[in-house]
Amino acid sequence: MTTVPPPAPGGSPTPAPATIRAQDLVKMFGPIRAVDGISFELAPGRIYGLLGPNGSGKTTLIRLLTGMGRATAGRAEVLGTAMPSRAVLARVGYMTQSDGIYPALTAGENVRFFGELYGVTDATAPEDALAVVDLADRRDAVVATLSGGQRRRLSLACALVHRPPVLFLDEPTVGVDPLLRVQFWSHFRRLADGGVTIVVSSHVMDEADRCDELLFMRSGRVIARGSGRDLRARAGTDDLEQAFLRFSGNVAATR
């Protein structure tokens, strides 16, 4: 028998169970605390932005959440299962910071290859993934002949091919032209509306307002969390860069 949670008081909708959960995550590289005690819960159907300068621990955090790195301490959970878990990986899309595609294969071959590894049986899925990133007409081009931005797009297609309910995107828009970025974001939004949880990392602030919620990262910690508007209000500034600096100033002061 399943227990249905009681309706929340005041008629507000029941908060959905978290799809991604971090509990006191720590990752050390020798003396470096790349991730320094991070805990959070992320809900389905939302886009989360991990924002922070280079070296603040965004990639390491994503690797812990996807089970690609083993935490020194703490626990990472995706879709209710502790990571690393091979079964969960079938339902997770991970676009790595480096492209991670095969230069000697064509764009189509790369997407089909990853589709097969993810167990995709739908023959149209690779085509759809290529269409999303606007590479359908470059299907038969060998990756080595693609531009940097095109490779980035192909890398994204490889993370989308199995239509995962959880998506980690590590700096996905680096090297992608502004017009296509707009397209990317509207696709991310469509996916989120369909219930997909998306975690996007970035070291620039200009795309922050496309996220539902932001997690400011610095020195392996989440120093602030909230919507762009919320964070601006709390920092008392209209400029997100300024807001980030205020929050990191607080951290520096409290240390």
Site residues for ligand ADP per CB under 6 A: 29, 32, 34, 52, 54-60
Task: Report the nearest approach of another protein to the CB of residue 28 (Å).
Answer: 11
Region of residue 247 (phi > 0: left; psi between -120 and 50: alpha; otherwise: beta): alpha
Task: Report the nearest approach of another protein to the CB of residue 56 (Å).
Answer: 17
Nearer to another protein, 118 or 184 (CB): 118
Binding of Mg ion by 66 (CB under 5 A)? no
Binding of Mg ion by 59 (CB under 5 A)? yes
- Helix, strand, or coil (residue 121): coil
Task: Report the nearest approach of Mg ion to the CB of residue 124 (Å).
Answer: 33
From the list another protein, ligand ADP, Mg ion, none, pick the one residue 208 interacts with, judged by a Cβ distance below 5 to 8 Å according to partner type: none
The answer to whether 16 touches 80, Cβ cutoff 8 Å, is: no
CA dist., res. 70 & res. 94, Å (int):
16
Number of chain residues interacting with Mg ion (CB under 5 A): 2
Nearer to another protein, 130 or 224 (CB): 130
CA–CA distance from 203 to each of 61, 73, 218, 220 (Å)? 14, 26, 11, 14
Task: Report the nearest approach of ligand ADP to the CB of residue 220 (Å).
Answer: 7
Task: Report the nearest approach of ligand ADP to the CB of residue 63 (Å).
Answer: 8
CA atoms within 13 A on the CB side of 21: 11
CA dist., res. 211 & res. 36, Å (int):
24
Nearer to ligand ADP, 52 or 228 (CB): 52
Binding of Mg ion by 96 (CB under 5 A)? no
Distance of CA 219 to the CA centre of its chain: 19
CA angle 60, 160, 206 (to 5 degrees): 60
CA dist., res. 51 & res. 58, Å (int):
8
Task: Report the nearest approach of ligand ADP to the CB of residue 112 (Å).
Answer: 29
Which residues are at the interface with another protein (CB under 8 A)?
29, 66-70, 84, 86-87, 89-90, 92, 94, 96, 98-103, 114, 117-119, 158
In the sheet where 166-170 sits, what is the strand order?
92-95, 166-170, 197-202, 47-51, 213-218, 221-226
CA dist., res. 23 & res. 43, Å (int):
15
Binding of Mg ion by 56 (CB under 5 A)? no
Nearer to Mg ion, 129 or 223 (CB): 223
Nearer to another protein, 44 or 67 (CB): 67
User: Taking contact as CB under 5 A, which single stretch among the options 96-104, 119-127, 128-136, 153-161 is the one that binds Mg ion?
Assistant: 96-104
State the residues that interact with Mg ion by CB under 5 A.
Answer: 59, 97
